[in-house]
Protein backbone atom coordinates (compact mmCIF):
# COMPACT_ATOMS: atom_id res chain seq x y z
CA UNK A 1 0.00 0.00 0.00
CA UNK A 2 1.27 3.39 -0.94
CA UNK A 3 2.06 5.60 2.08
CA UNK A 4 -0.14 8.36 0.67
CA UNK A 5 -3.08 6.13 -0.23
CA UNK A 6 -5.38 7.36 2.53
CA UNK A 7 -4.94 10.99 1.46
CA UNK A 8 -7.71 11.68 -1.04
CA UNK A 9 -6.09 14.47 -3.05
CA UNK A 10 -2.40 14.29 -3.89
CA UNK A 11 -0.65 17.08 -2.04
CA UNK A 12 1.53 19.73 -3.59
CA UNK A 13 3.90 21.22 -1.04
CA UNK A 14 4.02 25.02 -1.07
CA UNK A 15 7.14 26.84 0.11
CA UNK A 16 6.67 30.36 1.47
CA UNK A 17 9.26 32.84 2.64
CA UNK A 18 8.68 33.53 6.34
CA UNK A 19 6.64 36.74 6.38
CA UNK A 20 3.30 37.67 7.96
CA UNK A 21 1.34 36.06 5.12
CA UNK A 22 3.25 32.78 5.53
CA UNK A 23 2.54 32.78 9.27
CA UNK A 24 -1.20 33.20 8.57
CA UNK A 25 -1.03 30.48 5.95
CA UNK A 26 0.68 28.12 8.41
CA UNK A 27 -2.03 28.80 10.99
CA UNK A 28 -4.76 28.07 8.42
CA UNK A 29 -3.04 24.81 7.46
CA UNK A 30 -2.74 23.75 11.11
CA UNK A 31 -6.35 24.66 11.89
CA UNK A 32 -7.53 22.60 8.91
CA UNK A 33 -5.68 19.52 10.17
CA UNK A 34 -2.82 19.90 7.69
CA UNK A 35 0.95 19.70 8.03
CA UNK A 36 3.13 22.83 8.05
CA UNK A 37 6.91 22.74 8.47
CA UNK A 38 8.53 25.73 10.12
CA UNK A 39 11.91 26.69 11.56
CA UNK A 40 12.75 26.52 15.23
CA UNK A 41 16.11 27.50 16.71
CA UNK A 42 17.20 23.83 16.70
CA UNK A 43 15.97 22.18 13.46
CA UNK A 44 12.87 22.50 11.23
CA UNK A 45 9.76 21.00 12.80
CA UNK A 46 6.78 19.43 11.04
CA UNK A 47 3.82 21.06 12.74
CA UNK A 48 0.35 19.62 13.29
CA UNK A 49 -2.50 20.50 15.64
CA UNK A 50 -1.70 18.51 18.80
CA UNK A 51 -5.38 18.14 19.66
CA UNK A 52 -6.42 16.72 16.26
CA UNK A 53 -6.02 12.94 16.04
CA UNK A 54 -6.45 12.86 12.27
CA UNK A 55 -3.78 15.50 11.77
CA UNK A 56 -1.42 13.49 13.99
CA UNK A 57 -2.15 10.33 12.03
CA UNK A 58 -1.33 12.16 8.79
CA UNK A 59 1.88 13.40 10.35
CA UNK A 60 3.02 9.90 11.35
CA UNK A 61 2.17 8.74 7.84
CA UNK A 62 4.04 11.58 6.12
CA UNK A 63 7.15 10.90 8.20
CA UNK A 64 6.84 7.12 7.99
CA UNK A 65 7.21 7.24 11.75
CA UNK A 66 6.32 4.30 13.99
CA UNK A 67 3.19 5.34 15.87
CA UNK A 68 4.72 4.34 19.22
CA UNK A 69 7.17 7.20 19.02
CA UNK A 70 5.63 10.16 20.88
CA UNK A 71 5.86 13.80 19.76
CA UNK A 72 6.89 17.05 21.43
CA UNK A 73 4.10 19.58 22.05
CA UNK A 74 5.33 23.09 21.22
CA UNK A 75 3.72 26.02 23.02
CA UNK A 76 4.22 29.76 23.04
CA UNK A 77 5.23 30.14 26.71
CA UNK A 78 5.45 28.53 30.12
CA UNK A 79 1.86 29.44 30.97
CA UNK A 80 0.56 27.52 27.95
CA UNK A 81 2.78 24.59 28.95
CA UNK A 82 1.12 24.39 32.37
CA UNK A 83 -2.21 23.54 30.76
CA UNK A 84 -0.57 20.40 29.38
CA UNK A 85 1.87 19.24 32.02
CA UNK A 86 2.53 19.17 35.77
CA UNK A 87 5.73 20.97 36.74
CA UNK A 88 7.71 19.80 39.76
CA UNK A 89 10.25 22.15 41.40
CA UNK A 90 13.06 21.10 39.03
CA UNK A 91 10.84 21.66 36.00
CA UNK A 92 9.87 25.13 37.24
CA UNK A 93 13.53 26.04 37.66
CA UNK A 94 14.50 24.73 34.21
CA UNK A 95 11.58 26.42 32.45
CA UNK A 96 12.44 29.73 34.11
CA UNK A 97 16.11 29.43 33.26
CA UNK A 98 15.92 28.15 29.67
CA UNK A 99 12.53 28.83 28.02
CA UNK A 100 12.22 29.90 25.33
CA UNK A 101 15.15 27.73 24.27
CA UNK A 102 16.43 24.35 23.09
CA UNK A 103 15.17 22.36 26.08
CA UNK A 104 12.29 19.85 26.08
CA UNK A 105 10.80 18.73 29.40
CA UNK A 106 9.11 15.35 29.82
CA UNK A 107 6.51 15.78 32.54
CA UNK A 108 3.35 14.18 33.90
CA UNK A 109 0.29 15.10 31.82
CA UNK A 110 -2.37 17.26 33.44
CA UNK A 111 -5.80 15.68 33.89
CA UNK A 112 -7.36 17.98 31.29
CA UNK A 113 -4.49 17.84 28.81
CA UNK A 114 -6.06 18.43 25.37
CA UNK A 115 -3.24 16.76 23.44
CA UNK A 116 -4.48 13.65 21.68
CA UNK A 117 -3.37 10.22 22.96
CA UNK A 118 -1.93 9.42 19.56
CA UNK A 119 0.53 12.30 19.86
CA UNK A 120 1.82 11.04 23.21
CA UNK A 121 1.71 7.41 22.05
CA UNK A 122 -0.61 6.55 24.94
CA UNK A 123 1.92 7.55 27.63
CA UNK A 124 0.82 9.40 30.77
CA UNK A 125 3.76 11.75 30.28
CA UNK A 126 4.16 14.51 27.72
CA UNK A 127 7.17 16.23 26.15
CA UNK A 128 6.79 20.04 26.00
CA UNK A 129 8.97 22.80 24.71
CA UNK A 130 8.89 26.56 24.07
CA UNK A 131 11.02 27.25 20.99
CA UNK A 132 13.21 30.35 20.74
CA UNK A 133 12.67 31.35 17.12
CA UNK A 134 10.70 34.36 15.88
CA UNK A 135 8.85 32.39 13.18
CA UNK A 136 7.92 29.49 15.48
CA UNK A 137 6.83 31.97 18.16
CA UNK A 138 4.59 33.89 15.74
CA UNK A 139 2.92 30.71 14.50
CA UNK A 140 2.35 29.39 18.05
CA UNK A 141 1.00 32.72 19.21
CA UNK A 142 -1.42 33.07 16.31
CA UNK A 143 -2.52 29.41 16.43
CA UNK A 144 -3.09 29.74 20.19
CA UNK A 145 -2.91 26.02 20.92
CA UNK A 146 -0.33 23.24 21.25
CA UNK A 147 1.45 22.22 18.04
CA UNK A 148 3.34 18.94 17.82
CA UNK A 149 6.49 19.27 15.77
CA UNK A 150 8.83 16.36 15.26
CA UNK A 151 11.88 17.10 13.15
CA UNK A 152 10.63 17.63 9.58
CA UNK A 153 12.33 14.63 8.02
CA UNK A 154 11.28 11.13 7.07
CA UNK A 155 11.73 8.74 9.96
CA UNK A 156 15.36 7.58 10.15
CA UNK A 157 16.70 10.43 8.01
CA UNK A 158 18.81 13.36 9.18
CA UNK A 159 17.04 16.28 10.82
CA UNK A 160 16.61 19.27 8.49
CA UNK A 161 18.29 22.59 9.18
CA UNK A 162 17.10 24.34 5.98
CA UNK A 163 13.81 24.53 4.08
CA UNK A 164 15.57 22.79 1.18
CA UNK A 165 16.30 19.77 3.38
CA UNK A 166 12.62 19.58 4.32
CA UNK A 167 11.51 19.79 0.68
CA UNK A 168 14.01 17.11 -0.35
CA UNK A 169 12.58 14.68 2.22
CA UNK A 170 8.86 15.52 2.37
CA UNK A 171 7.95 17.06 -1.00
CA UNK A 172 4.26 16.47 -1.75
CA UNK A 173 3.74 14.70 1.58
CA UNK A 174 3.04 17.90 3.52
CA UNK A 175 1.08 21.09 2.81
CA UNK A 176 3.48 23.93 3.53
CA UNK A 177 7.07 24.81 4.35
CA UNK A 178 7.71 28.20 5.93
CA UNK A 179 11.25 29.10 4.87
CA UNK A 180 13.00 31.07 7.59
CA UNK A 181 16.57 30.30 6.52
CA UNK A 182 19.05 28.00 8.25
CA UNK A 183 18.27 27.11 11.87
CA UNK A 184 20.83 28.62 14.25
CA UNK A 185 21.45 25.79 16.75
CA UNK A 186 21.50 22.89 14.27
CA UNK A 187 20.90 19.94 16.62
CA UNK A 188 17.63 19.00 18.29
CA UNK A 189 16.61 20.15 21.75
CA UNK A 190 18.00 18.57 24.90
CA UNK A 191 15.33 16.37 26.53
CA UNK A 192 15.15 16.19 30.32
CA UNK A 193 12.54 14.16 32.21
CA UNK A 194 11.38 15.72 35.49
CA UNK A 195 9.44 12.82 36.97
CA UNK A 196 11.48 12.43 40.14
CA UNK A 197 15.26 12.48 39.73
CA UNK A 198 15.85 14.73 36.70
CA UNK A 199 17.16 12.58 33.88
CA UNK A 200 18.88 13.46 30.60
CA UNK A 201 16.95 11.54 27.93
CA UNK A 202 18.59 13.13 24.89
CA UNK A 203 21.63 15.40 24.77
CA UNK A 204 20.95 18.34 22.47
CA UNK A 205 21.22 22.04 21.86
CA UNK A 206 21.36 22.99 25.53
CA UNK A 207 24.53 21.60 27.13
CA UNK A 208 24.21 19.27 30.14
CA UNK A 209 26.54 21.54 32.12
CA UNK A 210 24.13 24.49 31.85
CA UNK A 211 21.24 22.36 33.10
CA UNK A 212 23.23 20.88 35.97
CA UNK A 213 24.36 24.29 37.11
CA UNK A 214 20.78 25.64 37.06
CA UNK A 215 19.60 22.60 39.07
CA UNK A 216 22.70 22.61 41.29
CA UNK A 217 22.84 18.81 40.89
CA UNK A 218 23.85 16.21 38.35
CA UNK A 219 21.43 14.81 35.80
CA UNK A 220 21.03 11.06 35.88
CA UNK A 221 21.30 9.00 32.70
CA UNK A 222 18.55 6.68 31.48
CA UNK A 223 19.09 2.96 32.01
CA UNK A 224 20.64 1.51 28.86
CA UNK A 225 17.92 -0.29 26.83
CA UNK A 226 20.23 -3.28 26.36
CA UNK A 227 20.55 -3.69 30.12
CA UNK A 228 16.92 -3.04 30.95
CA UNK A 229 13.61 -4.72 30.22
CA UNK A 230 11.74 -1.44 30.58
CA UNK A 231 10.29 0.35 27.59
CA UNK A 232 12.83 2.88 26.33
CA UNK A 233 12.30 6.19 28.11
CA UNK A 234 12.86 8.25 24.96
CA UNK A 235 11.52 5.78 22.41
CA UNK A 236 12.89 7.80 19.51
CA UNK A 237 16.42 7.32 20.73
CA UNK A 238 16.83 3.97 18.97
CA UNK A 239 20.48 3.33 18.21
CA UNK A 240 20.24 3.74 14.43
CA UNK A 241 18.21 6.86 13.96
CA UNK A 242 20.20 9.61 12.25
CA UNK A 243 21.27 7.69 9.20
CA UNK A 244 23.11 8.85 6.10
CA UNK A 245 23.41 6.16 3.38
CA UNK A 246 27.21 6.26 3.40
CA UNK A 247 28.88 4.38 6.30
CA UNK A 248 30.58 6.52 8.92
CA UNK A 249 33.95 5.98 10.57
CA UNK A 250 34.31 7.93 13.80
CA UNK A 251 37.30 9.41 15.63
CA UNK A 252 39.46 8.99 12.58
CA UNK A 253 43.13 10.02 12.66
CA UNK A 254 43.92 8.90 9.11
CA UNK A 255 41.69 9.24 6.02
CA UNK A 256 41.65 6.41 3.45
CA UNK A 257 41.80 7.29 -0.25
CA UNK A 258 38.29 7.85 -1.62
CA UNK A 259 36.67 8.63 1.73
CA UNK A 260 34.90 11.89 2.45
CA UNK A 261 36.29 13.74 5.46
CA UNK A 262 34.18 15.51 8.06
CA UNK A 263 36.82 17.64 9.73
CA UNK A 264 36.89 19.65 12.95
CA UNK A 265 39.43 22.28 13.96
CA UNK A 266 42.51 23.54 12.17
CA UNK A 267 44.81 20.51 12.57
CA UNK A 268 43.79 18.27 9.66
CA UNK A 269 45.68 14.96 9.23
CA UNK A 270 48.20 14.83 6.35
CA UNK A 271 46.02 12.13 4.75
CA UNK A 272 43.24 14.74 4.26
CA UNK A 273 44.73 15.34 0.81
CA UNK A 274 43.61 11.78 -0.19
CA UNK A 275 39.98 12.54 0.72
CA UNK A 276 37.39 12.66 -2.05
CA UNK A 277 35.88 15.73 -0.42
CA UNK A 278 36.39 17.61 2.84
CA UNK A 279 33.97 19.70 4.87
CA UNK A 280 34.97 21.28 8.16
CA UNK A 281 32.38 21.56 10.97
CA UNK A 282 34.35 24.43 12.45
CA UNK A 283 37.87 25.37 11.31
CA UNK A 284 38.29 27.40 14.51
CA UNK A 285 37.19 24.47 16.71
CA UNK A 286 33.98 26.15 17.91
CA UNK A 287 31.41 23.54 19.04
CA UNK A 288 28.46 25.91 18.56
CA UNK A 289 29.42 26.47 14.93
CA UNK A 290 30.00 22.72 14.56
CA UNK A 291 26.50 21.86 15.82
CA UNK A 292 24.94 24.35 13.40
CA UNK A 293 26.82 22.74 10.48
CA UNK A 294 26.49 19.08 11.51
CA UNK A 295 23.43 17.87 9.58
CA UNK A 296 23.99 19.93 6.42
CA UNK A 297 27.64 18.81 6.19
CA UNK A 298 26.62 15.16 6.76
CA UNK A 299 24.04 15.44 3.98
CA UNK A 300 26.51 17.05 1.58
CA UNK A 301 29.19 14.42 2.25
CA UNK A 302 26.57 11.64 2.00
CA UNK A 303 25.85 12.91 -1.53
CA UNK A 304 29.52 13.26 -2.49
CA UNK A 305 30.00 9.58 -3.38
CA UNK A 306 32.82 8.75 -0.98
CA UNK A 307 33.30 5.13 0.12
CA UNK A 308 32.76 6.25 3.73
CA UNK A 309 32.51 9.44 5.74
CA UNK A 310 35.57 9.67 7.99
CA UNK A 311 34.90 11.88 11.01
CA UNK A 312 37.66 13.49 13.03
CA UNK A 313 37.39 13.37 16.84
CA UNK A 314 35.11 16.02 18.34
CA UNK A 315 35.55 17.12 21.98
CA UNK A 316 32.79 15.86 24.31
CA UNK A 317 32.14 18.94 26.43
CA UNK A 318 29.30 21.44 25.90
CA UNK A 319 27.47 20.86 22.60
CA UNK A 320 30.07 18.18 21.83
CA UNK A 321 27.98 15.69 23.81
CA UNK A 322 25.04 16.09 21.42
CA UNK A 323 27.29 16.14 18.34
CA UNK A 324 29.02 12.90 19.37
CA UNK A 325 25.64 11.33 20.20
CA UNK A 326 24.23 12.08 16.72
CA UNK A 327 27.42 10.87 15.03
CA UNK A 328 27.34 7.61 17.02
CA UNK A 329 23.73 7.02 15.93
CA UNK A 330 24.54 7.84 12.32
CA UNK A 331 27.37 5.28 12.46
CA UNK A 332 25.33 2.51 14.17
CA UNK A 333 24.03 0.57 11.19
Q: Which residues bind ligand TXA (CB under 6 A)?
A: 40, 42-43, 45, 69-72, 104, 106, 120, 123, 125-127, 129, 131, 149-151, 188-189, 191, 201, 233-237
Tell the smallest beta-carbon distance from residue 31 to ligand TXA (Å): 20
Q: How many residues does the chain have?
A: 333
Q: Which of residues 129-158 bind Mg ion (CB under 5 A)?
A: 151
Nearest 5°: phi and psi at 113? -55, 120
- Applying CB under 5 A, what is the total number of residues that bind Mg ion? 1
Nearer to ligand TXA, 101 or 306 (CB): 101
72 binds, among ligand TXA, Mg ion, none (CB under 5 to 8 A by kind): ligand TXA
Nearer to Mg ion, 187 or 260 (CB): 187
- In degrees, rounded to 5, the angle at the alpha carbon of residue 192 between the alpha carbons of residues 187 and 197 is 155
Q: Nearest CA to 191 among 110, 101, 113?
A: 101
Rounded CA-CA distance 254/191 in Å is 34
Tell the smallest beta-carbon distance from residue 157 to Mg ion (Å): 9
Nearer to Mg ion, 109 or 157 (CB): 157
Residue nearest to ligand TXA (CB): 236
Q: b/e per residue, 100-125, with b = 16+ CB within 10 A?
A: bbbbbbbbbbbeebebbebbbbebeb
Nearer to ligand TXA, 59 or 309 (CB): 59
List, in order, residues 6 or more apart from 250 with CB less than 8 Å away. Answer: 311, 313, 327, 328, 331
Nearer to ligand TXA, 120 or 137 (CB): 120
Binding site for Mg ion (CB under 5 A): 151
Amino acid sequence: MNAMSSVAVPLVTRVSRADAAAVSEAVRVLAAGGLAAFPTETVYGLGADATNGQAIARLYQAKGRPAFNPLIAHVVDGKAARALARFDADAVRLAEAFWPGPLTLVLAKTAGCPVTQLATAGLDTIAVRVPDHAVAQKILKAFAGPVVAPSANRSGHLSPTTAGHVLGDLRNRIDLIVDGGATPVGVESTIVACLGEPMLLRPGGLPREAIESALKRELSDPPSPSRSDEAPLAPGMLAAHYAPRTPLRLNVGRVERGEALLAFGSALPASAKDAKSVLNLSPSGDLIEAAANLFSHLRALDASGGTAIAVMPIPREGLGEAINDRLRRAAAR
